[in-house]
Chain A
């Protein structure tokens, strides 16, 4: 089915869905019904992504580019949102009947923001998407309103997110000043009257994005936010918003030759190195599983940047593969935490898990192995793919740092597996484990199977990524004025 609109299908479906959910809340509260509606909206948007869109151009400025890259990242985002939706159900916080309905509404809105960012080719559409993602996220982070640390996390998030948005806007303004264009693409600084201003614009936009991606040295909020909020929301911050931002960043830099050493390229290189090393070191010393995952997620952004910095046939394909692998494994760990031990995120609470819950411990080990990049999990192939892209791009120095920091990473991932294998020390009381509800159990099983299957047979996902070898397209009429 073809459709003509000036919004991509998925964005349209999510907008309408959010309206329906609001209407539902206005008519009467029923958490179960609202949860089902939320799920249906997400599934419908997933269907909508797969339909080809012909965008109706309002005026001469394109707002969205419905290309393969956008669809791929949108599918990833929506699938993650569905996973988060499933693991939220029966979560103690969300089940609160007085506020539960809004939770699903906010989840839909955040997804809407993420999906619009993936296709945005205009500063305005990108910024609207970003804020549509960030503001619901604030509400979700503060959702445990009885808890003091939720408030702390939300405050940290809103202040730093505001700073990041301000930097982005300033960057856009400088770019506009220099080029007179609001196209969401890094300006070519070579032929500008004031190259310095254009460069500053790019660097500011980049820094704003790194803030939101929580790459080192803009990472300080992530661990606190993940620790303060509930587990499904932590998954949202760690997975969904990162996919959206990374997808947008790739599009923003489609115009820049990343081989050429320049201010922007240098910043990305520095941030990649710092993120790989810093993220892993941060995770190394943590005793809380969520804080450890925060460090690990920072490190994985660093690995992704290595692929991003190695333009070539493998670059986009490998980042696409890596995003999928990272999302599956990280979501799996969060789903397990939400299902097995929602209150116990201290690593020591997981002592002896292989005896108490062998299947859950096995699934957890698979996810951790995947993040650590050990066969047969999909993370191994993903890391291999990234390394191949880096090698093809001649980024040997970055790859050596990737290897070194991966070894640090191995240590803390394996430490968790070791703790799950070893019996608990006697003096420490065992924390009670709960059974995940059926849907979450199924989700964990599916994610674990996907991690293993794509690890052993990565061919399908690689073929899927082949389409992405073509760079994300600049908007039509790319040479023109706004």
Chain B
């Protein structure tokens, strides 16, 4: 079991490499099969990990020296939040691989490799507890996506991809400065240079520079998520990405930002977080309302989903910065629910675009008779996204609002109003695409969706309903592992 955590990172990467190499010769379907097998193995690994580790707090640990001169280790720790997000990552990864055969005829092996490398990087982000290693994965997971966007993206991809990359990498460098500041302060105090998360977290709690250092982390995560003033890269990028990349970006990469806020902001800098919480909650509320308002005005399907995505991520900010337990747990639920529902919506949008040739809602309409199954699914996920009770998103939004209520009644009131706006844009989107008279010429059916499509959406539906009616298993997991020295029996064993 010792190597389960590094295996979670290595497996997708090498599986992707194998898929790429298998593409060089042999039938065109091999890379696809190889990556599916890789994901299946990853699922087995996760099942095993979930079954054999117990309890709250830290459930699994791995450490090995890397650059011992500078106190850098390869160090993975897994707590409940990590486990939940690893599962989410896998769930998001499966459809991107499963459904790609149709769009990607050009170099499918490379495509699989880049997707799986992204997934490996994201796994690394969710597991690393060495700050340098975390930063490595943070930067590394973007690189393959850069390739996916550039090679398989839509018309305006060149400009948009660079914008995306510059925003995320630039903010990442600020985080690097913060990490280094922590390491240097620690080295100054104790004489030991280390990038161990648990050690640096102790420093972060005490240092009088904590608010400044925290800002570096906060900006990096806020850009990645994205949060309101840092969101300008996001709608363009989501719109110009190929479907799989949109699903990955919205489904899981935005969650790395949210994860970072829980683990590296709220947990590491509790007092500084409390200081900045009013500002963050205000930004979260403004983000919820403003981006919902923008979503109402969009004509491009993917842009509606993109803006709605920022709006819903505002609830996560609310939950995390409420500083309450219920808020944090709600944020985790919201992450999972939002990942599933937005991913599904992007799959549907991609399908519509593929069959009709446009994402422009002015040129769409009356698709329900042409694609009844898909329209039904679209209705469900729209309902999920507008927060219908009984679906996971409702639980997440309700709990984050519950957390925020203890901080500010006004903010909670305004944030709740976002749900009204989200009904407006979500239902408008449904109406413009699926209802009304058919706009596309000829009433021929647009082709039945393939079985994998239906299976993927079906599974997402079931999971969202389970999350809506019985969220307790996820709630049990979603308390982050404690940083207290005495509870670090797993994490404290020396690396060398």
**A residues within 8 Å of B by Cβ?**
369, 374-376, 380, 384-385, 387-388, 391-392, 396, 399-400, 403-404, 406-407, 410-411, 414-415, 418, 421-422, 457-459, 462-463, 466
Contact partner of A392 (CB less than 8 A), chosen from B66, B139, B187, is B187
Tally of B interface residues using CB under 8 Å: 31
* With known contacts A418-B162, A422-B150, A391–B169 Cβ distance under 8 A: no
**Is the pair A388, B158 in contact by a Cβ cutoff of 8 Å?**
no
Contact partner of B161 (CB less than 8 A), chosen from A388, A418, A463, is A418
Least Cβ–Cβ distance between B212 and chain A, in angstroms:
9
**Is the pair A387, B165 in contact by a Cβ cutoff of 8 Å?**
no
**Is the pair A388, B184 in contact by a Cβ cutoff of 8 Å?**
yes
Complex contacts, A410 vs chain B, CB 8 Å: 165-166, 169-170
Least Cβ–Cβ distance between B236 and chain A, in angstroms:
15
Closest to B174 in A: A403
- A403 to B66 Cα, complex, angstroms: 25
Q: Does chain A have a CB within 8 A of B180?
A: yes
**Is the pair B162, A411 in contact by a Cβ cutoff of 8 Å?**
yes
* With known contacts A375-B136, A403-B170, A463–B143 Cβ distance under 8 A: no
Contact partner of A421 (CB less than 8 A), chosen from B70, B151, B170, is B151
Complex contacts, A391 vs chain B, CB 8 Å: 177, 180-181, 183-184
Complex contacts, A400 vs chain B, CB 8 Å: 177
Complex contacts, A380 vs chain B, CB 8 Å: 136, 139
Q: List 17 A-B contacts (CB under 8 A).
A: A375-B143, A380-B139, A387-B176, A388-B184, A392-B184, A403-B174, A403-B177, A404-B170, A406-B173, A410-B170, A411-B166, A418-B158, A418-B161, A422-B158, A457-B66, A462-B67, A466-B69
- Encode B136-161 as 1/0 by CB contact (under 8 A) with A: 10011001001100110000001001
Complex contacts, A422 vs chain B, CB 8 Å: 150, 158
**Is the pair A463, B69 in contact by a Cβ cutoff of 8 Å?**
yes
Complex contacts, B146 vs chain A, CB 8 Å: 414
Complex contacts, B181 vs chain A, CB 8 Å: 391
**Is the pair B67, A459 in contact by a Cβ cutoff of 8 Å?**
yes
Least Cβ–Cβ distance between A382 and chain B, in angstroms:
12
- A384 to B176 Cα, complex, angstroms: 8
In the A-B complex, list the 10 residue pairs whose CB atoms are closest, starting with the nearest.
A407-B170, A391-B180, A403-B173, A462-B69, A459-B67, A391-B184, A421-B150, A375-B140, A375-B136, A392-B184
Complex contacts, B135 vs chain A, CB 8 Å: 384
Contact partner of A376 (CB less than 8 A), chosen from B140, B170, B180, B187, is B140
* With known contacts A388-B184, A391-B184, A407–B177 Cβ distance under 8 A: no
Interface positions of B from 248 to 292, Cβ below 8 Å from A: none
Complex contacts, A399 vs chain B, CB 8 Å: 177
**Is the pair B177, A387 in contact by a Cβ cutoff of 8 Å?**
yes
Least Cβ–Cβ distance between A363 and chain B, in angstroms:
15
Q: Does chain A have a CB within 8 A of B381?
A: no
**Is the pair B132, A384 in contact by a Cβ cutoff of 8 Å?**
yes
- A376 to B181 Cα, complex, angstroms: 22
* With known contacts A418-B162, A422-B158, A459–B180 Cβ distance under 8 A: no
- Encode B63-75 as 1/0 by CB contact (under 8 A) with A: 0001111100000
**Is the pair A407, B166 in contact by a Cβ cutoff of 8 Å?**
yes
**Is the pair A388, B183 in contact by a Cβ cutoff of 8 Å?**
yes
Contact partner of B147 (CB less than 8 A), chosen from A392, A403, A421, A463, is A421
Least Cβ–Cβ distance between B116 and chain A, in angstroms:
16
Complex contacts, B66 vs chain A, CB 8 Å: 457, 459
Complex contacts, A457 vs chain B, CB 8 Å: 66
Least Cβ–Cβ distance between A381 and chain B, in angstroms:
8
Closest to B136 in A: A375
- A261 to B158 Cα, complex, angstroms: 45
- A399 to B179 Cα, complex, angstroms: 13
Complex contacts, B143 vs chain A, CB 8 Å: 369, 374-375
**Is the pair B162, A374 in contact by a Cβ cutoff of 8 Å?**
no
- A415 to B177 Cα, complex, angstroms: 25
Closest to B141 in A: A375
Least Cβ–Cβ distance between B402 and chain A, in angstroms:
39
Closest to A402 in B: B173
Complex contacts, A384 vs chain B, CB 8 Å: 132, 135, 176, 180
**Is the pair B177, A418 in contact by a Cβ cutoff of 8 Å?**
no
Interface positions of B from 305 to 338, Cβ below 8 Å from A: none
- A403 to B165 Cα, complex, angstroms: 14
Interface centre among B66, B132, B158, B173 (most CB of A within 10 A): B173
Least Cβ–Cβ distance between B189 and chain A, in angstroms:
13
Complex contacts, B136 vs chain A, CB 8 Å: 375-376, 380
Least Cβ–Cβ distance between B445 and chain A, in angstroms:
35
- A376 to B142 Cα, complex, angstroms: 12
Least Cβ–Cβ distance between B198 and chain A, in angstroms:
20
